[in-house]
Structure 1
Amino acid sequence: MTIEEEEESEAEPEQEMDTYMDPHEDEYDPGLRFQQKYQFPVPDLPSDDDDEDGLTPPPPPAYTMAGTSGGSTPAPNPRSRPGPKKTLPTRPWKLIGETPGGPKYPHLIPSFGAHIAYDIWEGKGRHMLKLRSHAKSTWSGPDDYYSVSLLESTGLYHLRYCSLPQHNNPLIEAFIERWQPHTNSFHMPFGEMTITLHDVHYIMHLRVSGKRSNVWIDKADAIYAGARAFGVEPPVMEKWYGDGSRLDDLDRMYGDDSSFASEFRVRAYIAYLLGKLLFVDKSGSKVKADFFPLLEHIDMISDYSWGSATLAYLYRQLGMATRAEAAQMGGCLTLLECWIYEYFPCFRPPMVNAHVNGEPWCKRWQVIHHIPKDEDILVDYRRRLDSMRASDVNWTPFGVNVSCEVEKTVHHGTIRWMDTVEPYMPDRVLRQFGFRQIKPSDPIRPLKGAKRERKLASYKISYEPGDQMWNIPHTHMLNEDYYGHLARPAWESTPEYLPWYLDHTHVRFRQIPDDFFRTIQDMCAPFAEYLQLDRPNASDEQEAGYSHMRHSQRRRRTRDT
């Protein structure tokens, strides 16, 4: 049973939230002008009242218990040091009103009560997440001509060179803290941003159109199909279905010394690449076998939308990582980290290669310096994100024509990887397509019974798959008349967007933001040369002929000449 399928056995009746909403805000209307914005018929979606189940009662207070005998408590030992007291949260996981630091209205992100950002605002926190990565797995795959030709035909063979050797844990943690699973976007001080389908297409060089990745047969038939595809007995495949197949076992069974035929080795290596890079689970060393039947026909592997599947799985992993008691995260971390580098130049590593046409953009980042899991580094990243402005972002790193070059990127609906279904809503991040940001429509709501509590054991979420909308060309896509106003400048938004956005989310982690200091810098910018706010390098001064003389001497010399 997967994490998202587990559910708390008891829950109290749901509390109504309408009394806390601004009656003048038309976004709370369930019939929110959705039909007018899009050129496609929108199916009936669950209402906000069905979004999530009721509140969970607050946990009892924590007590420090000493050893007891016969029901009596012995006197404390004066020489012993008391251990740290664990402060348990007393707030519900589902918002019922205005929140300190935001949001003012809980409609947009109702499960923010269980979000790690809420804990950080209250001065609490957690240890940094353990990022699951298989970068140390080094199987290079079969190298005979026939096997290589089969691998190249799948459109996935290039993934063997797409894994970053290490990850910037504090940087990824800082962005996880800003992820909101209700909108599947990062909530920045200036608006929403997210990883789009065209980002996956360019960064990982994966196909985003095509068939959805899902097995449409029952488990028994899937086990036999997987056994045929990998040349093993059904009991072996059944064990892989239950426990997962270790990456090292795939290397050992289908490696250079294997007696399996080329087709079996090719399927095993594709499964190895997918489990190592795109669909990394939290075991740290295994790959789930539920998708193995998709690899049975090698000539059809390239027909699947591996890009949308990768993004759906990463969305789910990000959502679970935002829960206050999460401890680790899987998914395609290479995609996440390279996305940060593309859109936020201030966080880029010092070594950058020029992009080569036809190759994944992730290959141009050289992450060779190890960034330790240091809390001070994480706090600095939070501060820099708190004070960041929209003009600091590279909004269109892949050009302004991405909606034409990658048509599926303007799909508005759901994306899927096996049983994991997540909403994809490009109208929330129009500036990443080169268009002016407007107030978006309400996010796609999950099915009734959804829960996003603090503990991952209680994290249960599901959406209407909407597979028929995905498979019909040019259906369920944003209308160009709706989003087609070019952004001038690139971070442009309508006047009503930012006030609405700030009332509905939580965008800062420092209760005293750095905007004051940024304002002072802007005021002093015209006098920067006179005040010497930026000390020039010695080489620059030598080239200018000024040596190391004082600034006043340079001014007099310039005046006299």
Structure 2
Amino acid sequence: MEQEQPDVELQHMEEQELEEELHAMDEEMKDGEPRRRRKKKEKVVDPEPLDDYPGGPHETGLLWKYHVHVARKAADGVWRGKLKCISNRKKIEVMHDEENKSIMAGRWWENRLHATDLGWLQDTSYIMIDHDLIYAFVGRWHEETSSFQLPFGEMKVTLDDVASLLHIPIDGMLLSHGSISRDEAVEWMELYLGSSTGDALKEVEKTKGAHCRFVYLEEIFKDRLKEKSDLAAEYGVTEEVESDKSQWAVDVVYLKYFRDLDLVAGYSWGVVALAHLYKELNNTTRWNCSQVAGYLTSLQAWVFHHFPSTVDNYRNYLDALDLTRVVMTQYGVHRHTRQFERVGLYSGWLRCGERMVRYLPKRVFRQFGWFQTIPRHPIESAPVDVNLAEITNRFRRALDYALTPQMLGETAIHGVEAVDGYIEWFYQVSHPHMILPDMPVPVPRPPEREVLDARAAQEDGDLGYLQLSGKMSRIRDHIYVVMRSGLVPKGTEE
């Protein structure tokens, strides 16, 4: 298991160092004065893995990377600092500045953009990201399962979520590119952006690779906007969906998918958005990571839809969360606009370029309207001995690898049911809480029973039970938050 991605920690550190150098270069260009380079960070030493952890997991076969997870440090009372959320949405606002307002008013580009099936993205991106919300959810994400670990089980952003929230295609061809050389990047910028050889060479030199800076793309965009070129329509997609941890540069390799806008709709851009988000979340769960990227619009929209309550403290809220305040199947009334696609039940690996992530819908059956079962181990569902070409070939026949009706099992009448033993299993293999109490965490009454009892009382007209149940839930949540706020001195809890 440890050999699956042997250099991920080192690669992540190198990416952060490159970002710092790129930022320093941009600052030098602004004021014309050289700045002193930051010292390289010393290599960090990861904690040793244990066989059992306070508060869970008590069996470490499922979350085998828990020892380097941010939740492991949080269990010891060590919380990382502010998490920097990287979103490139503001860069797209250049389309609406005063200089281009008269040109944009004609909206000549709109039909071309909608023909790519990506037109919805101009209306489904947040300019501002809720950092506290992202921070709280990132701490519950796990690479091994590609899911959030919550007090009642697992949840995740699915392909169906992406299709329903963003209205972009989840079926089609995967982006199956590899890395390209600097020479190829120069050639592609000349061919597809109309760059001069000198300008293209400067970009690969400044970014130290096959990249070009966003500020350079803005210049190209403004020129092409006046020419009413298709390149203007590409700009928003490459900056938003394919956002990674670079705030200053984008990979030139993505230009290949926009050589002909008539072919853009044939790609699975939903997989692109999801694979980027999963991969960035995987990196960010490390205890020493300080920033998160990916298509954060999709994550924030997903949270708003499935967790409609408004709170001040997300961390305490998630620790006290139960199924009464979660909307598992959100899109019933939306199906006339965006129908469910069976490709959303594909199970296995997804890829975008050289990035590969696990997609395991069986772990979140309740989100699809079925009883939650105890899922297979992730390595059984998505074996590690698979290469990128095999992932591409499998997804071409995605329906052959989608979960069948026999695999789905029993339909959940109320949308929250789980099989007997699920919650007990989950509390053994996961960490249901981020803030650990001083006493052992007991296995609770199966959380779905609270929802089912409340709905049964509602159907029977038992208003007394509903009022009492609501009051008890609010009292319980309040006590939980206070006990974990640090206001209660240790030893006085009773």
TM-score range (shorter-chain normalised) is 0.7 to 0.9
Which range moved further: 280-289 or 207-216? 280-289
Residue of structure 2 in register with 1:414 after alignment:
349
CA distance in 2, matches of 1:432, 1:185: 12
Query: CA deviation digits over 1:205-262, x for unaligned, max 9?
Result: 111111111336854556534432222245544554562333333232231x558754
Within the alignment, does 1:247 sit opposite 2:214 as a pair?
Answer: yes
Residue of structure 2 in register with 1:278 after alignment:
241
CA distance in 2, matches of 1:408, 1:241: 38
Contact in 1 for aligned 2:185/2:204 (Cα 8 Å):
no
Residue of structure 2 in register with 1:345 after alignment:
308
CA distance in 1, matches of 2:244, 2:316: 31
Residue of structure 2 in register with 1:193 after alignment:
155
Against the structure 1 CA distance between its residues 236 and 306, is the aligned structure 2 distance closer, same or farther, given a 3 Å change threshold?
Answer: farther
Question: Which amino acid is the alignment partner of residue 59 of structure 2?
Answer: Y
Query: CA deviation digits over 1:175-218, x for unaligned, max 9?
Result: 10000111110001111100000101111111111111133685
Residue 146 (structure 1) shift: 5.2
Residue of structure 2 in register with 1:140 after alignment:
95
Q: Describe the SS at the equivalent of 2:331.
A: coil
Residue of structure 1 in register with 2:359 after alignment:
424
Q: Describe the SS at the equivalent of 1:291.
A: helix
Against the structure 1 CA distance between its residues 191 and 207, is the aligned structure 2 distance closer, same or farther, given a 3 Å change threshold?
Answer: same
TM-score by length of 1: 0.64
Contact in 1 for aligned 2:224/2:231 (Cα 8 Å):
no
Q: Describe the SS at the equivalent of 1:104.
A: coil
Within the alignment, does 1:91 sit opposite 2:47 as a pair?
Answer: yes
Against the structure 1 CA distance between its residues 208 and 533, is the aligned structure 2 distance closer, same or farther, given a 3 Å change threshold?
Answer: closer
Contact in 2 for aligned 1:222/1:293 (Cα 8 Å):
no
CA distance in 2, matches of 1:315, 1:51: 16
Contact in 2 for aligned 1:115/1:322 (Cα 8 Å):
yes
Percent identity reads 25
Residue of structure 2 in register with 1:501 after alignment:
426
Residue 156 (structure 1) shift: 1.9
Which range moved further: 189-198 or 410-419? 410-419
Residue 303 (structure 1) shift: 1.0
CA distance in 1, matches of 2:426, 2:469: 38
CA distance in 1, matches of 2:66, 2:387: 18
Of the three residues 129, 147, 150, the one matched with 2:112 is 150
Within the alignment, does 1:207 sit opposite 2:169 as a pair?
Answer: yes
Of the three residues 270, 276, 281, the one matched with 1:313 is 276
Against the structure 1 CA distance between its residues 292 and 182, is the aligned structure 2 distance closer, same or farther, given a 3 Å change threshold?
Answer: same
Residue of structure 1 in register with 2:191 after alignment:
228
Which range moved further: 150-159 or 231-240? 231-240
Residue 315 (structure 1) shift: 0.2
Within the alignment, does 1:126 sit opposite 2:80 as a pair?
Answer: yes
Q: How does 1:321-336 map to 2 (within 5 A)?
A: 321-336=284-299
Against the structure 1 CA distance between its residues 401 and 438, is the aligned structure 2 distance closer, same or farther, given a 3 Å change threshold?
Answer: farther
Residue 400 (structure 1) shift: 9.4
Against the structure 1 CA distance between its residues 251 and 214, is the aligned structure 2 distance closer, same or farther, given a 3 Å change threshold?
Answer: same
Question: Which amino acid is the alignment partner of residue 91 of structure 1?
Answer: P
The CA RMSD measured in Å over matched residues stands at: 3.6
Q: Describe the SS at the equivalent of 2:432.
A: coil
CA distance in 2, matches of 1:147, 1:188: 43
Structure with bigger helix share is: 2
Q: Describe the SS at the equivalent of 1:192.
A: strand
CA distance in 2, matches of 1:273, 1:245: 15
Query: CA deviation digits over 1:234-293, x for unaligned, max 9?
Result: 5544554562333333232231x558754xx422441x3134322223232332222111
Contact in 1 for aligned 2:151/2:321 (Cα 8 Å):
yes
Residue of structure 2 in register with 1:476 after alignment:
401
Contact in 1 for aligned 2:275/2:357 (Cα 8 Å):
yes
CA distance in 2, matches of 1:190, 1:400: 25
Query: CA deviation digits over 1:403-427, x for unaligned, max 9?
Result: 9721210011122221111111101
Residue 152 (structure 1) shift: 2.5
Q: Describe the SS at the equivalent of 2:357.
A: strand
CA distance in 1, matches of 2:224, 2:248: 21
Within the alignment, does 1:467 sit opposite 2:392 as a pair?
Answer: yes
CA distance in 2, matches of 1:208, 1:430: 19
Residue 484 (structure 1) shift: 3.9
CA distance in 2, matches of 1:241, 1:475: 42
Query: CA deviation digits over 1:1-58, x for unaligned, max 9?
Result: xxxxxxxxxxxxxxxxxxxxxxxxxxxxxxxxxxxxxxxxxxxxxxx4754669x9xx
Question: Which amino acid is the alignment partner of residue 468 of structure 1?
Answer: N
Residue 172 (structure 1) shift: 1.1
CA distance in 1, matches of 2:170, 2:126: 22
Against the structure 1 CA distance between its residues 234 and 470, is the aligned structure 2 distance closer, same or farther, given a 3 Å change threshold?
Answer: farther
Of the three residues 341, 354, 370, the one matched with 1:435 is 370
Query: CA deviation digits over 1:39-84, x for unaligned, max 9?
Result: xxxxxxxxx4754669x9xxxxxxxxxxxxxxxxxxxxxxxxxxxx
The total of aligned residue pairs comes to: 404
Query: CA deviation digits over 1:72-108, x for unaligned, max 9?
Result: xxxxxxxxxxxxxxxx97731xx34111111111111
CA distance in 2, matches of 1:343, 1:528: 23
Of the three residues 251, 254, 257, the one matched with 1:288 is 251
CA distance in 2, matches of 1:252, 1:90: 43
Contact in 2 for aligned 1:214/1:291 (Cα 8 Å):
no
Q: Describe the SS at the equivalent of 2:78.
A: coil
Residue of structure 2 in register with 1:117 after alignment:
71
Of the three residues 223, 230, 243, the one matched with 1:266 is 230
CA distance in 1, matches of 2:407, 2:470: 48
Contact in 2 for aligned 1:241/1:288 (Cα 8 Å):
no
Within the alignment, does 1:490 sit opposite 2:415 as a pair?
Answer: yes
Consecutive unaligned residues of structure 2, counting only runs of 5 or more, are 10-43, 97-102, 455-462, 473-494
Contact in 2 for aligned 1:225/1:296 (Cα 8 Å):
no
CA distance in 1, matches of 2:62, 2:467: 46
